[in-house]
Each structure stands twice: as C-alpha cells, then as structure tokens.
Structure 1
Amino acid sequence: MSEVVLAERPLVDGDKPPLPELTAPAKNPLLDHAILPTLLRLAWPNVVALSAGTIVVIFETTYIGRLGTEALAAMALVFPFVMLTMTMSGGAMGGGVSSAIARALGAGDQQRADTLAGHALLIGVCFGLTFTVGMLIFGSALLQLLGGRGNVLSQALGYITIFFAGGVIPWLMNTFAAILRGTGNMKMPSAMQTSSAGLQIVLGGTLGLGLGPIPQFGMPGVAAGTLTAFAIGAGVMGWYVFSGRARVRPTLNGFRIERGMFFDILKVGAIACFNPLQGVLTLLIFTHMLAHYGTEVLAGYGIGARLEFMLTTLAFAVGIASVPIVGMAIGAGRIARARRIAWTGCAIAFTVVGLLGTLIAIYPHVWVNLFTNDPGVREASRAYLATCAPMYAFLGLATVSYFSSQGAAKVLGPVLAQTARLGFVCAGGWYLLSIDAPATSFFWLAAASMVLLGVLSVLAVVLTRWGPKSGPVPEVRPALS
C-alpha cells in the first residue's frame, strides 16, 4: 500500500494546508518485472531439482537391479503409487497451496498468507495419514491387482510398508516447498530437493545393498533411505519457514480452523489431484494394451516414455514457476498480466520441448542406442519416437496451461482436458484392438492424444474467465516485506 507522508513544517498565516505526498511503493519483482526474464529466473532452479529426480530414478533402478530381477519387478509395481503420492503432494495440492499464498500476497494480505500456510500444513498431515492408512490396509490387494505374486509381491509389500508408514513425510516436504514457492522463492525448495535426491541415492543404496557393518535390508532399506532423505529435507525447510526467513510464517499460536482457508487451497488442490490420477491411469491402460504386442514393443515404448518424462520435466519447471507469478497478478487484480504470463510459459514449453522432441524423432538412435542392442526393441522404439516425439510439444502446452490455471484458481478446465484424453485413449485403444491393428497404430493414438490434451488445455485457459464475475477489481501493488 502507498504510504502517506505529511510535511513537517508548521503552518503560518497565509499558508494553505499541504497536500498529501505519495511515496512510490517498492516494486515487487513478480508483479512489476518483465515476464520472460522473471519466468526464466524462477524456472531454472526447478530444472535442476527435477533433473536430480530423474537421476535418482536412474541410480535407484541400478542398485535395485543388483538385488535381482524380482526386486526390479517389485519396484515396477510400487512405482505408480509412489509417483502418485509425490505428484499429488507436489504438483497438485502443492500447486493449490502456492496459488492461495501467492494470491494473498498479491493482494497485500500478509496475515491471510500466514494463516493459509498453517492450514496448508494441516492439509498435508491429513492427506499423508490418509495415504498411510489406505496403503497399509489395501496395499496388498492393489499390488495383487497389478499382477504381484510370490516373492515379487513380498518385496513390493516390504517397500510400501516402510514408505507409507511414513506417508506424512513426503507430504510435509512438498507442502513446505509449495509454501516457499508461493512466495516466489524457488531456490530454497529446489536446493533442498536436489540435496534430498543426493541423500536418497546414498542412503537408499547403502541400506538396500548393505555397506561395511550395515546389513543388506533389501527393498525395505531402499524405502527407509528415501524416507530419511525426505525427512531431512522437510526438517530444513520447516526450520527455514518457522524461523521467519521466508515471506510467510505459519500461524500456530492461537491457531483456529477456518473453512474459508481450507476452501481457498482445496478449490485448486483437490481438483488438481485428479490430474496426476488420470495421468497414471492413462499410462497403465495404454501399457496394458501394448502388452498384447509382445515384450519387444512394450520395451520399445518404455524407452520412448523415459524420454517423454525427461523432456516434459522442462515444461514442469516452467509451469511450477508460473504458479506464484500468475497467482500474485490475480491477487493484485492484474488479469491481463496473468494471461500474458500463461501464454509466455506455453510458448517457452512448446518451443523447447517440441524442438528437442523433433530432433530425437529425426535422430532416434542417439537416444535408443543408450538402452538396448536388441534389434526388435530398437525398431519399436524408433517407430514410437518418430511418431510421438514431435508431439511432446503439446504435452508442454498442457503442462504450463495446467499450472497457470492453478495460479489463477481456475484449474477445472485443464483437469477435464486430461479426462478427455483418458477417454480418447480408452475408446481408441479398444477400437484398435477390436480390428487387430498393428502396434504402430497405437503410437499414432498416443500422438493424437497428446495433441488433444494440449489443444483442450489451451482452450480451457482461453474460455475460462480469470477475472472477477462482475466489475473490475482495483489494482493493488503491495510492497515487498
């Protein structure tokens, strides 16, 4: 808010009362700086953190492979549930937390931002406990439903029993990260997630395989290493937030539950949780359909899917960065700026991801030959990449549209776009199986579903009203605290 300063010289006869003098408010970089450099400045720490997550997957696969083929199969069974936990707590509910805090700060309401942070932590604890209870009770049945049997099932149960017994830990870690990102601080959570990734590799490998006097605990040891790394990351970020070093400090003294605070977070986060859920379901259904064509086709698709994961990480980095910038603009009533941020992020993701995907489509051997020497697998993977890799650009569009919509608290449209993609893959896959179509037809189905998702997500942003329902909102330009 602008500060009114009155002249201090006393009035004498004949003087007129002085007019109030307005001092210029301090600039908020997220509200006043140029969009493109601000987006890039916030995105690069996320690229580092997400790349570290990719490295963890590679190392984890390597040392779990030393435990045997059954351990690898067990990890494949538990991976969807672990990823669902991380994407829900980080990208979905975490986006709701970042959005609510950013909108409060954009409107200049510090007290509301602090109160929202306290409610966010309570939501994280409740969701973490829900995952703990659900997986410990129904985990065995879910793993068997995915095909877990014998020693593979036993090892998978060993992992989820440890990991989900501490299910609150990853939720707290990602909630603290979301609180910080809502203030525009990307470096601290990214640094801690990168450090946690390094600890996860060291601790998971040590406890899983054994080292010196430390015995080999197998899959439970891998899970314990992961949880320990997450707990350290959550602890450091928690200390940082509660010490007052962040722009928000969760209100705990005299804490009272306010339904409005829960609603502000959950109206974005709860709806957004359906996005990763549908994404995992689409992946499982598509993989199940491709399994009809044999191991070589399935393995070739898996190699292509790894590249898809790596390239869309770049779009995630831009998308996560867009949440607080869009949120603060919305909170300040600067709707046009919020939309420009969304389109700038979409353009970056579409261009970068599309360009890299197209290069791999032209030279697929650069990627494929890293993973296999099998001629059948290579051929299947090349066919998949030639068809789908250029379409990764549309996944980039969908990703940034989804996160920008979180910042605007209007996430339903992009979530429904993911629903449409799920239905399209199911219906198209059923038809292709019914006519005994070749495997390459499924690759075209995958490519078409990416285009559909990207186009519908952008349309959702275009057609959804981000501003107030009636009348303009006065623009607010709060000073940074």
Structure 2
Amino acid sequence: MSFQWSLWKREAVGTLLLAGPLTVAQLLQMGMGFIDTVMAGRMGAAVLAAVGLGSSLWALMLLGCIGAVMAISPLVAHLNGAGDEAAIADEFHQGLWVAMLVGIVAVPITYGLAAMLPLLNVDPEIAPLASEYLKVSAWGMPGLCLYLAPRYLNEGLSNTKPVMLVQFLLLPLNVLGNYLFMYGGWGFPAMGAAGAALSTAIGLWLGAAMMFGYLRFGRRFQSLALFSHFHAPRSREIWRILKLGLPIAIAIILEVGMFSAVAVLMGTLGKVEMAAHQIALNYAGLMFMLPLSISQAITIRVGHAAGAGDVRLAVARGWLGVVLSGGIMALSATLLLLFPDVIVAFYTNDPEVTAMAISLLFAAALFQFSDGLQVAGSGALRGLKDTAVPMVINMVAYWAVGFPVAWLIGIYWGVGPQGLWGGLVVGLTLAALLLNTRLFLVGRKKVLHTQFSAT
C-alpha cells in the first residue's frame, strides 16, 4: 500500500510540474487579450466592439491551428518514451511541414471570415473595423503555426518552461505594439482595431523566432541534430500527422463553438443578461486554465509511457490526471457555491447584473466538475493517439444534445439565461461521461492486448 501511495504521489508531482508552466503561459496569453480589451476600450465603444468581435472569430482559427499542430506533442512523446532520438528530428520536420501548410491555408480562411461579417447583420459602424482586424491578423497565422511546432516538440520532450518564458516576454511587447499601432505612438499612424491585430501578428512571428532560437542554441537539443539535415516533406507522414491532428482541431472548435453559439443566443435576451453571462464565463474560463494545463501534461506523460511500452503506466497516468483535474474543479465549484457574491464583486457593482451573474455562477458550479473530467479524458486519449472517436463524441455531446437543450430551455421555453447555461451543463456532463467511458474501454483494450502479447 505504501508503495502504491509513493508511486501515485510521484506521478502526481510529475504531472503538476509539467502543468505548472503551461498554466502560467496560458494565463499570460489570456492577459494579452485582457490588455487588448482595456486599451481598445480607451479608443471608444466602436473600437472595443470591433476588437471583441474580431478576436472572437480569430480565436476559432487560432484553436483550429493549435489542434491541427498539437499532434506533434504525443507523437514526439511516444518517440521520447521509446528512446528513439534519431526519429525525433524527422518527426519534427514533418510536423513543421504540416504547421507551414496549416498556417498558409489559415490566411485565406481568415479573410473569408472577414468577408462574412456583412452576412451576420453586424452593426455597420463595427463591421468594417472588425473586418480590418481579421485581415491584418490573418498574416500572423503562419507565424502562429511556426511557433506551435517547436512548442509542441518541447512539450513532447517534457519541457514546458520555454513556452512560459516566451509568453512572459511577449506580454510587454504586446503592450508596446498596441501603443505604437493602436494609438499611433512615436509617430506611427493610429490604426485602432487593426493596430491591435498588427501587434498580435508581429508578436506571433516574434514568438516563432524565439522558439526556433531556443531550439538552435539550447544545449539539450544538440543530440537531436534538428538543424544538421532538414528532411523533405513526405506526403504519407504529413497525412499521418494530419489524421491525428485534424480531429483534435475539430473537437476543440466544436466545444468552443457551442459556447460561442450560446453567447449569440444570450445577446438576444438583453444587455444585463449578456453582461452577467460574460462575467460568469470569464471566471469559468480562468479556472479552466488549470484542468486544461493538466490535460496537456497528461498527453505528454501518457504518450511517454506508451512509447516506452508501459501501457499500464500510460493508462494509470491518464486516470491520475482525470482525478487531479476533477478534484481541482470540484474545489472551484465549492468556491462558486460558497462565495458567488465575492467573485461577482470583482467584476461589477450593478445590482441587476450582480443578481443575474450570481444565478449563472451556480450553474457554472454544476459544470465545473464535468469540465475538468472531459478535458482530462480528452488529454489522456490524445496521449494514446485516439482522436477520431473523441471528435465524434464532442459533436454529439455539444451539438446534438448540449446546444439544442440550451435553445429549448433558454429560448423556446423562455427560462432565459439560466436555461441557456443548463444546456452547457448537459453538454459538458455528457462529454465527460462519454470521453471517460472511451478512456476506460481504450485503456482496457490496450492492457489486455499487452497481456495477450506477453503470453
């Protein structure tokens, strides 16, 4: 029993040490969005609304690129676990070709989103500003993907500190870029919303340069020979990476898309409801960074154990991550239930908004635990290279069940904001149940296969 406890304790510490820098990096990235919002707000409501709308649409492209390139992490983790250093450079090079392909394709798609704005009946004062935001930010997409490739190489090697350091350096540069391009500091033309996009795009290219500089001069990468010989693209390998990565991208977009669609429905109910929704969602988003980071750490550690041929350890690490993630979000839900008024007071002192936001925080408390379980289950399955079925699960949970329930209760039955959030609770809870059932089935199958092979 003491051995088992020491083993679980060691595994938990290893997971949390990997997740810590990722949490900080993601909070710093959210801080960049917060700074953009604050600085845009000083230029008037139209610029603020344009940055908000443009960044929301751009975020869908961002998440799609992240998901498609994220496949590098479990693939490298498997090779690292197997001790196959010679194959890591080739895997990285093929992943880099995928990243460049995804980044190039993302540019015209982002332009397409800008062209669609008139079809969304957006305020005519806001639409052209948001359109310019998207067109400028589109040119940062290749830089984003070139940043992601070395990031996920590092994560696959269980090295999560570089991404934290890069985000730490980019935060003040984003403030400087906004001052120069949004406000027209030091003689630059004031570009408003487009200036915020330009600052972000430049930051993405700088982040890519920093990550490649780290790979080139970091001593720990010398044995991998990443730059001694660059491997040409091979269609079969590129398709193998995309086959793993595209379902991740679609699954992420399906989940975030449900939240975006509910926000659109919320906007039809009134400004008080929308403000309360934003408060509750912002807090939930901040807390979600913790299980999200654990999920990414699980992918790495599960992939490493699976690559080393220790399937039992891989599955155990997956379930440990689920327990850690669920425990953290259970604590978050407890705080929501005990101190909702304290949390809302950080955001507003408007009595109407406060009352509505508190009621939504109670709904948020219900899905905190489910949210932690579903993202952890997803991360463990990625580590086992299982991404196609989780994509289908997200489609069913969020769009066949969650969103229709939100519309039915919130809009059709007229319950309002609490009904819309009830749909979120249902969608996330179903996703958590199905994804962790899938993890149980896949894990059991792999363990039984290993036992059969051994005999």
Q: If the length of structure 2 is used for normalisation, what is the TM-score?
A: 0.90
Q: Which moved more, 1:143-152 or 1:397-406?
A: 143-152
Question: 1:388 touches 1:444 (CA, 8 Å); kept in 2?
Answer: no
Q: State the shift of 1:243 in Å.
A: 4.0
Q: Match for residue 278 of structure 2?
A: 302
CA deviation string 1:127-171 (max 9, x = no partner): 1111112222x2333222333342311111221121102320011
Q: State the shift of 1:215 in Å.
A: 3.5
Q: Match for residue 27 of structure 1?
A: none
**Residues in 2 aligned to 1:264 and 1:427: alpha-carbon distance in whole angstroms:** 34
Question: 2:140 touches 2:202 (CA, 8 Å); kept in 1?
Answer: no
Q: Does 1:372 align with 2:368?
A: no
Q: State the shift of 1:383 in Å.
A: 0.5
**Residues in 2 aligned to 1:147 and 1:339: alpha-carbon distance in whole angstroms:** 49
Q: Match for residue 193 of structure 2?
A: 219
Question: What secondary structure does 2:127 align onto?
Answer: helix
- Which has a greater percent of helix? 2
Q: Match for residue 446 of structure 2?
A: 467
In structure 1, give the amino acid aligned to 2:408.
Y
**Residues in 2 aligned to 1:352 and 1:385: alpha-carbon distance in whole angstroms:** 17
Q: Match for residue 26 of structure 1?
A: none
Q: Match for residue 326 of structure 2?
A: 350
CA deviation string 1:353-398 (max 9, x = no partner): 2212321232112121222222221111110001222421211111
Calculate the aligned-residue CA RMSD, in Å. Answer: 2.4
Q: State the shift of 1:238 in Å.
A: 0.7
**Residues in 1 aligned to 2:15 and 2:403: alpha-carbon distance in whole angstroms:** 36
- Match for residue 49 of structure 1 among 6, 25, 33: 25
Q: Which moved more, 1:241-250 or 1:376-385?
A: 241-250
Question: 1:162 touches 1:220 (CA, 8 Å); kept in 2?
Answer: yes
- Assess, with a 3 A threshold, how the Cα gap between structure 1 residues 197 and 89 changes in structure 2: closer, same or farther: farther
**Residues in 1 aligned to 2:140 and 2:361: alpha-carbon distance in whole angstroms:** 38
In structure 2, give the amino acid aligned to 1:426.
F
Question: What secondary structure does 1:34 align onto?
Answer: helix
Structure with greater Cα Rg: 1
**Residues in 2 aligned to 1:33 and 1:435: alpha-carbon distance in whole angstroms:** 49
Q: Match for residue 204 of structure 1?
A: 178
Q: State the shift of 1:431 in Å.
A: 2.5
**Residues in 1 aligned to 2:226 and 2:151: alpha-carbon distance in whole angstroms:** 13
**Higher RCO (C-alpha 8 Å, min separation 6):** 1
Q: Does 1:441 align with 2:419?
A: yes
**Residues in 2 aligned to 1:129 and 1:94: alpha-carbon distance in whole angstroms:** 13
Q: Does 1:106 align with 2:87?
A: no
- Assess, with a 3 A threshold, how the Cα gap between structure 1 residues 252 and 166 changes in structure 2: closer, same or farther: farther
Q: Match for residue 258 of structure 2?
A: 282
Q: Match for residue 168 of structure 1?
A: 142
Q: Match for residue 190 of structure 1?
A: 164
1:344-423 paired onto structure 2 within 5 Å: 344-419=320-395, 420-423=397-400
Q: State the shift of 1:458 in Å.
A: 1.1
Question: 1:398 touches 1:414 (CA, 8 Å); kept in 2?
Answer: no
Q: State the shift of 1:57 in Å.
A: 2.0
Question: 1:78 touches 1:143 (CA, 8 Å); kept in 2?
Answer: no
**Residues in 2 aligned to 1:473 and 1:273: alpha-carbon distance in whole angstroms:** 34
- Match for residue 234 of structure 2 among 230, 250, 258: 258
* Long gaps (5+) in structure 2: 1-6
**Residues in 2 aligned to 1:434 and 1:86: alpha-carbon distance in whole angstroms:** 33
Question: What secondary structure does 1:257 align onto?
Answer: coil
Q: Match for residue 431 of structure 2?
A: 453
* Long gaps (5+) in structure 1: 1-30, 476-481
Q: If the length of structure 1 is used for normalisation, what is the TM-score?
A: 0.86
Count of aligned pairs: 443
Q: State the shift of 1:470 in Å.
A: 5.3
Q: Does 1:177 align with 2:155?
A: no
Q: Does 1:95 align with 2:73?
A: no
Question: 2:311 touches 2:450 (CA, 8 Å); kept in 1?
Answer: no
Q: Which moved more, 1:259-268 or 1:127-136?
A: 259-268
Q: Match for residue 236 of structure 1?
A: 210
- Assess, with a 3 A threshold, how the Cα gap between structure 1 residues 168 and 296 changes in structure 2: closer, same or farther: same
- Assess, with a 3 A threshold, how the Cα gap between structure 1 residues 265 and 359 changes in structure 2: closer, same or farther: same
Question: What secondary structure does 1:67 align onto?
Answer: coil
CA deviation string 1:328-350 (max 9, x = no partner): 11111111111111111111111
Q: Match for residue 4 of structure 2?
A: none
